Structure 1
């Protein structure tokens, strides 16, 4: 974290905590007074419901505020207004004197709108800012967006302190309402530059000059309290002008470019700021009664982090359409659930809850439900193998069924396996699979129900149609499972037919002694050329470069009057090393010991080399194996070679066990290490899994089975079993 970023976050936290503590220390009550009499008289109440509950009425005389006489309270001296108090003493018209202890819980509107909501917004904005900063460090767009979010949040959380007359809270709000708009417009200017959109508006650097008016207004207000209202209206006017200017920029830019990114930012900006502008700022500027109190209208600012958290400002907007559609879906579900729950709570406590409390309950429940949906989504994905392992889960069963059917070798085996899956999953044998030549009324993959008989077209070649008939009704989940599985079956049949046709073509070529198969020749030619290219690149980057270097060294020596023996010996040593590397390349391409002395000797030689290079203790148990198919000897050698190479490069192990065991008709190769291990799913998706994938493909090419188990810090364990296909040699 840079010093500037660190300073910004620390300042944000300190100021936020300070103004929040100021708001928590003493409740806000907001009582207007008439001080033209001998004793101040209460005339208006900011929270009339609270006043009514405590039997405070217009015309009551205010005697003391927290034990002080009214004339000693500064807010009364300046504005004839009681901002906050912990205790009030007042006299009724009949002479009765009452004392009221003021607590936050007695004024829920004040407690939620000035403490709870600002605190929630403060924490949320800070979290979003950290998220943006960590994903896009040293990015000007991110920095501007981060500052905008923090400024909005700090301004909102300062409302409680400002309305209580705190100087720091008032100054933060005065600066914040203007600064946040300037930062947002500054962000737009650079974002337009990133999008290659021409900026046709006022340069943002001139807008920063408006911040100079804020201290001037505060100084004038301090000098002459008569300018209190005017300076406040000037600040609100500046804020309104900047909001309208930002809206104008966004709307005109969208109409000009029609870019979805501009539309999304426009919605994200207008949603929180327009209600605050129309319902509070504009009526206040024109001297009208505000539609909503300032803190109520400011609560719309809560939408800012939720809107901008979806905007990834680095190289692009990430898949925001998907995120927004998911948010809309969750919000719709959460809205109705929250509405039902809030209605139930309201009916139970209909005489005890105010409108503000009911609204607060609804918002809290709404947010909790949305958060629960996202948490459930993450947990479902994390524990999907446990949650979806029951037989009742159709998705897991479909995956397992497709995996099993993928191992069949012909169409008849495929249909037999399909029948087995239907019997196991649907629990019925009342079905048949028939082939017809007539046309049918339903399309491929479509389920049709006629006379309580379920029909499904599995495959259609035009001349012949394969149809599944089930003689009883199915549930909705069973329909979906059957439709999806049938689509896989149809694709499998197509692929099997292609493979069968290919085999027939190759056999026909073999029977006729016809070696002309152009597509196969082309495929083999491309494979050979590709391998040549890889080998050429390896030799060029290693041995050839080394030899060119040695040639230059010899040129330098030949031009010297005296040739030093040490230099010649050094070049000789480098030549020997290059020859050694070349020999290793040749052995890797075609191990000479494998053809000369057999697999066991070749493996022992390979293991000896690995023991010299490796940092781990290698224990090997190699049994003598022999196959009718000579290529299997090379397969075993390559598998062992790749396993040990992976151990050297990636395992970080201290012990490695390699075991080659003979079984009836084949062999078992077992590999175990105590290294760092890995997550198998992450490994298969990473670029470092080329070796493991190569091993898997080599095993599958020979119809073998491979099992890989591993987890972090638990090592890796690989079990390979291959059986020789003896039928091809009969």
Structure 2
């Protein structure tokens, strides 16, 4: 495509037929035509070595597209030959040869970069294809405009393929942004259109008389295809209102508008574009790189910032423009030029000072002779982040203030609101201190005063002595206010950290094991999770099995269903087991009928399965802590499970009695027993869990056991609640 563009310069010279001859009607490059002596009405005899009468496309196009040489017959009968060289058409050489090659190379590099860096992301693959397709279509457009067969086929198919790949990229990008893709789920079905476009391009070259119709079809179809992505973006933005979609819309509307409205639409409606294709297409070439920037960098917030601050700069520019227009309107009547120069110089200088004040007041952004204020603030914050105590933090604050403000007399003092006294060297009154807000800086006769941090009766103040010989600049006050805000929040965090560390030290000094509140918290969390699991099993699996069991019972009423009797019995057993698991995790009878009835039912269930004789005594107990009934139930449940699985006892006794503001639980069996060390080390016995439950409520658990001597466990928990 580049070779074709270079070998044959583009002329686009319009012709008209007169008396069987083709004469010049209009020039595209008028200055070149004047230099070559070509005038309107001159007769064109040959294009290159071919007579114009043998050119099949001329009668239908009436335009000389490309030529290396022209044979012209002047009005006086003189015949001249004119060589068409790129050196005589520099603008065309840049637009049609050099720039398309550079753009294609850049596009190829960008596509390879995207593929190498993010080849596993779907939208990036489509973006790479979109960039290359736009570049190739643009490169072939020059060859197509000169009637090249291959260039026309590629260009005709490309103008259909570009919007389809754009749709594929947008679909992948929507998925990346987690935005619902609204239309056209199967875009690949439309890939027949580029093939049809390429075929129409070939037909246009082979059968020149179809050119006018085919051009309209190609442009109208491409206009509709390019409208799809824009419509989808507008619809999505109407629904979502996200910054990313707004930026995508701007990236499509701004470049596409000149191409569609100034070239495609006028060409379709009136066959006369307002702006020629080689100029309007330049805007479209920005789209791939706009998308690449959005997709690769993802610095959407920064882009949003640049867009939103446009209003601010438009207002400032408008004010300056009006001022300069009024001033120059009166000054231009005078002959002296130095007055205009002086007026412009002073106006621009004043504008910068006014803008600086506006930035300080409304935007909190300022550049100073010492460098960027934010950079200085960042350095100070980095220093302060290394402090682990409030005293260290305040010392760093003082040093940074002395260094940045270049003032030696800076102090940090604590003001006691009860005593309401300040050192005599300072002029601030207690009432002024009381009205101060954190981060606020006020100027008094001898010092600046700022509130750093406030506690119930103590206020920490930053005092900067000036004695009417030092004035803090706007940028210095801004720096100080921001640093004080950061210091105040950091002090609050450090105090909380110090309190937690002190609490942990106290725990470490007073308890060798885990604190009671931690055991209680863990146990309550475990019980809560058990409740959730039981509720989930009951509401899902158990309900489904119950329904299936009912269905099976209906089948059993039919004689032909006798064969499913075993299956039905198995399902009933599963339902019963699952219900038992749920009741174990979340005993419903405990909430409905109370602790005594729940324990009695639990004991009855164990007796039905046990090989030992179970004797129980459950007195009614009155407990202030609403969590204790569940604690008792879990302990009894664990003790009876151990008796079933491990004790090999013949007799087990269990009693629950009320004591002063609490309860006493006694378990005893005559089983095989074991040593206390073995019992505590064996997780399967659950003794460790029992002891942790008891200790979580400040209770006592005494265990007596030995080999072949059974087990005796005595548990007592007081009913009063601890303030933990």
In the superposition, the TM-score normalised over structure 2's length comes to: 0.52
- SS of the equivalent of 1:290 reads coil
Cα distance in 1 between the residues matched to 2:135 and 2:510: 77
Q: Which residue pairs with 2:452 in the alignment?
A: 458
Q: Residues 418, 246 of structure 1: CA spacing in aligned structure 2 closer, same or farther, 3 A cutoff?
A: closer
Q: Is the 8 A contact 2:255 2:284 kept in 1?
A: yes
Provide the alpha-carbon RMSD of the alignment: 4.7
Cα distance in 1 between the residues matched to 2:26 and 2:3: 27
Does residue 304 of structure 1 match 2:287? yes
Does residue 127 of structure 1 match 2:104? no
Q: Is the 8 A contact 2:244 2:300 kept in 1?
A: no
Q: Is the 8 A contact 1:189 1:204 kept in 2?
A: no
Q: Is the 8 A contact 2:158 2:194 kept in 1?
A: no
Larger radius of gyration: 2
Q: Residues 460, 301 of structure 1: CA spacing in aligned structure 2 closer, same or farther, 3 A cutoff?
A: same
Does residue 445 of structure 1 match 2:439? yes
Q: Residues 47, 522 of structure 1: CA spacing in aligned structure 2 closer, same or farther, 3 A cutoff?
A: farther
Shift of 1:304: 1.4
What are the equivalent positions in structure 2 for 1:366-515 lying under 5 Å apart? 398=377, 401-402=380-381, 404-405=383-384, 414-436=393-415, 437=417, 438=430, 439-440=432-433, 442-449=436-443, 454-465=448-459, 466-471=461-466, 472-491=470-489, 493-494=491-492, 515=510
Q: Which residue pairs with 2:137 in the alignment?
A: 155
- Residues 164-213 of structure 1 show CA distances to partners (whole Å, capped at 9, x for unaligned) of 22111111111111122233345556667785847654843442333443
What is the aligned counterpart of 1:168 among 142, 150, 159? 150
Q: Is the 8 A contact 2:60 2:211 kept in 1?
A: no
Shift of 1:161: 1.1
Q: Which residue pairs with 2:33 in the alignment?
A: 51
Q: Which residue pairs with 1:20 in the alignment?
A: 2
Unaligned 5+ residue runs, structure 1?
1-18, 337-389, 528-730
- Residues 38-91 of structure 1 show CA distances to partners (whole Å, capped at 9, x for unaligned) of 764211112334434555432234466557654566654663422233455646
Count matched residues. 449
Q: Residues 110, 266 of structure 1: CA spacing in aligned structure 2 closer, same or farther, 3 A cutoff?
A: same
Shift of 1:320: 5.2
Q: Which residue pairs with 1:83 in the alignment?
A: 65
Cα distance in 2 between the residues matched to 1:152 and 1:427: 59
Q: Is the 8 A contact 1:435 1:467 kept in 2?
A: no
Cα distance in 1 between the residues matched to 2:452 and 2:202: 83
- Residues 479-517 of structure 1 show CA distances to partners (whole Å, capped at 9, x for unaligned) of 34433433444345445655776788899x79xx98379
Q: Is the 8 A contact 1:458 1:468 kept in 2?
A: no
Shift of 1:228: 1.4
Q: Which residue pairs with 2:216 in the alignment?
A: 233
Q: Which residue pairs with 1:269 in the alignment?
A: 252
What are the equivalent positions in structure 2 for 1:316-715 lying under 5 Å apart? 319=298, 321-322=300-301, 324-325=303-304, 328=307, 398=377, 401-402=380-381, 404-405=383-384, 414-436=393-415, 437=417, 438=430, 439-440=432-433, 442-449=436-443, 454-465=448-459, 466-471=461-466, 472-491=470-489, 493-494=491-492, 515=510
Q: Is the 8 A contact 2:182 2:236 kept in 1?
A: no
Q: Residues 450, 62 of structure 1: CA spacing in aligned structure 2 closer, same or farther, 3 A cutoff?
A: farther
Q: Is the 8 A contact 1:75 1:82 kept in 2?
A: no
Q: Is the 8 A contact 1:128 1:305 kept in 2?
A: no
Does residue 114 of structure 1 match 2:109? no
- Residues 616-670 of structure 1 show CA distances to partners (whole Å, capped at 9, x for unaligned) of xxxxxxxxxxxxxxxxxxxxxxxxxxxxxxxxxxxxxxxxxxxxxxxxxxxxxxx
- SS of the equivalent of 2:463 reads strand
- SS of the equivalent of 1:298 reads helix
Cα distance in 1 between the residues matched to 2:202 and 2:150: 14
Q: Which residue pairs with 1:532 in the alignment?
A: none
Cα distance in 1 between the residues matched to 2:465 and 2:44: 86
Q: Is the 8 A contact 2:127 2:169 kept in 1?
A: yes
Q: Residues 455, 63 of structure 1: CA spacing in aligned structure 2 closer, same or farther, 3 A cutoff?
A: farther
- Residues 353-392 of structure 1 show CA distances to partners (whole Å, capped at 9, x for unaligned) of xxxxxxxxxxxxxxxxxxxxxxxxxxxxxxxxxxxxx986
Cα distance in 2 between the residues matched to 1:402 and 1:97: 84
- SS of the equivalent of 2:449 reads strand
Cα distance in 2 between the residues matched to 1:404 and 1:256: 46
Q: Residues 197, 45 of structure 1: CA spacing in aligned structure 2 closer, same or farther, 3 A cutoff?
A: same
Q: Residues 83, 451 of structure 1: CA spacing in aligned structure 2 closer, same or farther, 3 A cutoff?
A: farther
Cα distance in 1 between the residues matched to 2:392 and 2:120: 60
Q: Residues 56, 433 of structure 1: CA spacing in aligned structure 2 closer, same or farther, 3 A cutoff?
A: farther
Q: Residues 397, 275 of structure 1: CA spacing in aligned structure 2 closer, same or farther, 3 A cutoff?
A: closer
Cα distance in 2 between the residues matched to 1:105 and 1:32: 22
In the superposition, the TM-score normalised over structure 1's length comes to: 0.51
Shift of 1:109: 4.0
What are the equivalent positions in structure 2 for 1:171-320 lying under 5 Å apart? 171-187=153-169, 197=180, 201=184, 203-218=186-201, 220-222=203-205, 224-255=207-238, 264-310=247-293, 312=295, 319=298
Shift of 1:266: 4.2
Q: Residues 450, 28 of structure 1: CA spacing in aligned structure 2 closer, same or farther, 3 A cutoff?
A: farther
Cα distance in 2 between the residues matched to 1:409 and 1:207: 65
Cα distance in 1 between the residues matched to 2:153 and 2:215: 12
Cα distance in 2 between the residues matched to 1:495 and 1:189: 45
Cα distance in 2 between the residues matched to 1:128 and 1:119: 14
Shift of 1:519: 9.9
Does residue 104 of structure 1 match 2:104? no
Shift of 1:269: 3.5
Cα distance in 1 between the residues matched to 2:106 and 2:266: 30
- SS of the equivalent of 1:158 reads helix
